Structure 1
Amino acid sequence: MVPWLASDDPFPPVERALGEASGAPGLLAASAELQSSRLIDAYQHGIFPWYSDGQPVLWWSPDPRMVLIPDEFKVSDSLRKTLRRVLKDAAWEIRVDHDFAGVMRACAQTPREGQRGTWITADIVEAYSSLHRDGRAHSIESWFEGRRVGGLYGVSFGRMFFGESMFAHRTDASKIALAALVGHLRHHKIEMIDCQQNTSHLASLGGREITRKAFLRHLRYAVFEPPIPWQFDKSALLATLGVNAES
């Protein structure tokens, strides 16, 4: 039985999440509302919301957990060429937190294989925008000739980044944003990006699964470390990946 949480109820221990045989592995709890205070508590305990319009708020803590270790990020030859071009071409910009809500809406409108509709509901946009206003959620955006053509958003606590979603309206635009994020996190010695659930796309970029226990062990100290800055330029970012305009 999945517990129903009243507004003041704490989350149950994540070890009580449904198992593989349940048909909804990782489902931990449900609630009627998505409050920003609840969202903060969830991330600090390795829990995230994922649901569709018409459903209650569903809270998850899967085992295993998909993560991307910044030092393991895979830069293919074709992506490396693209990043070099981005560095040289003034038409390309990497912007941070320029249009957070716009990035969320673009992610919501991007079709996903095997997925009908979107989990990025109006309530999700409002809740994460509240975190953004408090400096706890960020967008990394790829801009070309003054137009936002790709990006991603996620939540940042201390020395931990929780990736949420990405989109691309131009070839490799989301990968450019991800490379910029990875470079920034590597520069600040961030050891892990939470990717939540396994996809072939993330695996192709170096993502891998770890046990929930290992994920929570890292989380317990990482989220309470001092926060990192969120202002950067594309040259400093991409140089940390061994990419520069002349190479």
Structure 2
Amino acid sequence: MFSGYTINEKQVGPAHVLPGLVNTGFSTKLQAACDHHSQRLSKDCTLLLEGDPCQVVYCVLDGWLALSKTLEQGQTQIIDFALQGDIVDPTTADGETSSVTINGLTLGTVATLHRATWQTLISDCPDLRQWLHGKDAARRARHSERMLRLGKGTAEMRVAYALLELHIRVNMISGSALPEFHIPLTQQQIGDFIGLSSVHVCRTMRRMSRNGILAMSDHMDVRILNPQALSHMAGIDHATLKREIVPALPSQTRRTSAP
């Protein structure tokens, strides 16, 4: 089920850490399935390799995962980061192989659900389908905004957008509205996420720091000092981005759609 990875085999107890899913129509069933199939991951492990056989869906209960693709010459592009509460289905259209390599960047916990189990959950829980639709829409929005900047944006625009996106996602999990946040990434990993070298990322973030836009400490503890300037540099409105990439919970969806 996993390949080429290091894992802590100690069985973990009930996780109960899917953000916001309390007293929803499907939370009990989904949490029970995640608790039963949860595994602790070690830092820098590999869960799955691009092209490997894959018949599972991963539910991230804790920690950070990186989803990436690599060229034959070794150049790697990080396609996305999966954080707490994210669902990762890496299977290609053939239904048999993984489209990406999945690495655990931090200590964490994932639930590995066989596709048949996952399909049963979806069939039995209409609210789960609605929740997944929202998460898929948020992921598409993230990818399209970043793709625009990868293709047309400057280095500063790419770095600024990545920091804004990660800040919103981290705060969504923590329930915080504070300007400081931690991203457990190296500058090389940030570069692989936005198509820049680690040297270019370092220079760009130092320039932002000198200009009073952000402050950094302890290897990627980031504090946003001037959110308006960072949003302007990223070429996006912060409130609009948050609305587009933070999926509503099922209860919020029902309230919004009610007459």
Give TM-score, length-normalised by structure 1: 0.30
Higher helix share: 2
Give TM-score, length-normalised by structure 2: 0.29
Higher relative contact order (CA 8 A, sep 6+): 1
